[in-house]
Amino acid sequence: MRNVSEEEVEFILSDIEARGVVLEDLRDNLLDHMCCIIEDEMSETEDFKVFYESVLPRFFKENLQEIQVETDNLIKFKNFYSMKKIMKISGIATVFFTTAGAILKTMHLPGAGVAIVLGGFTFSLLFLPLLIAIKFKDEESKIDKTVFSFGFLIAIILSAGLIFKLMHWPMANVMLLSSTVIFTFVYVPVYFFTRVKRAELRFNTIVNSVMMMACGGIFFSLFDLSFSHEFEKQMVENHTYLHENSDRLFESNNRLINSDLEHAKELHSVSDDVNNNIEEIVAKIVKNRNTANLNDELNALQEAISKYSILSKEKEFSEITPLKSADVECIGRINVELAMNTLARMQQQVAVNENCYLTSKLTAQSK
């Protein structure tokens, strides 16, 4: 059994690197195998370099670099296929969760928010990043890799912004507007000018650019879904009109309540509770300029309306019209103008009910 000297080990290592094997683990394994063969098979009288050259072809068909290439491919494609498999699973999960969430949300069933969030974040944080990695492996041009990666990053922000918007989380509008503007007015032109010069890509580039620009423009135009200024003005005027009429009726009721009418003070007390709760909600909406974070106030109004509805069912108050609790439930989901008008309409109904009761009792008493 022959021992391999340090000089021979250095020679083998240098030769392996010179022949294109630079991966450290692979290089060390080849060195170990070569040394084992030399120690087991080489006699003391044989020339080291001649024996080394005769043994070396055992490791390849044409050249030693084949091992490096095969190893790189194994590592690359192992990860590649794993990523494709995970991407397919995440894509199926995204479709399932978003579809289920949309159906549940449309039907106002529990679990809608959880399903939408799971679908959105699976798409944003798993599917799209894997798509970026796979696209990096497929594309040969560094410019194409950069452009596609930039586009997918914008898509991640855009999809996350949609989830934030659906769940009424902060920063939703910033994410949606910024990603839409960058996609429409930055990414699409960059995509177009970096690919249209290549004849084999020209047709697909033009078609894709037109489609992306159209989608981005439509999405950008739909971003602000508020009513027209004229409609908002009419809504404000309508709210003011209803509120002023309610105030006049309440003033009239306060004068009539001084009369000695049975059950009048009971109705006035319950009406006053409903009216005060409405005023608190209106004040908070005006202060915050939105209908969010009204849970406590809306719950208090629901309790007052519940008492009011119970009172309306009694024989003594047959003249008053019950209030609809469904109107309160929708306040947190509609815009400011509609919420203000809904509350003003309820306030006016309370005032009209009390006025009808008092005038009817006074008329009956005068007879």
Residue pLDDT, tens place only, 49-103: 777 778 777 776 677 677 766 666 666 656 667 777 888 898 899 899 989 988 8
Q: Which amino acid is at 59?
A: F
8 A C-beta contact, residue 90 and residue 126: yes
Pairwise CA distance, residues 209 & 197, whole Å:
14
- Token pair for residue 37? 């063969």
What pLDDT sits at residue 96? Answer: 92
8 A C-beta contact, residue 148 and residue 132: yes
Residue pLDDT, tens place only, 146-205: 888 888 888 888 888 888 877 777 788 888 888 888 988 899 999 898 888 888 888 888
- Token pair for residue 31? 């060195």
- Token pair for residue 29? 């394994």
8 A C-beta contact, residue 20 and residue 63: yes
Residue pLDDT, tens place only, 218-230: 777 766 555 556 6
Pairwise CA distance, residues 350 & 345, whole Å:
9
What confidence tier does 6 reach under pLDDT thresholds 50, 70, 90? confident
8 A C-beta contact, residue 136 and residue 149: yes
Q: State the CB neighbour count (10 A cutoff) for residue 283.
A: 11
Q: How far is CA 33 from CA 28, 37, 134, in A?
A: 9, 6, 35
Pairwise CA distance, residues 232 & 178, whole Å:
26
Query: For residues 318 and 311, which has the higher predicted lDDT (pLDDT)?
Result: 311
Q: How far is CA 173 from CA 160, 169, 178, 223, in A?
A: 11, 9, 8, 9
For the chain, the C-alpha Rg in angstroms (whole number) is 38
From 69, 119, 117, select the one nearest 94 (Cα to Cα). 119
Q: State the CB neighbour count (10 A cutoff) for residue 300.
A: 15
Pairwise CA distance, residues 280 & 206, whole Å:
56
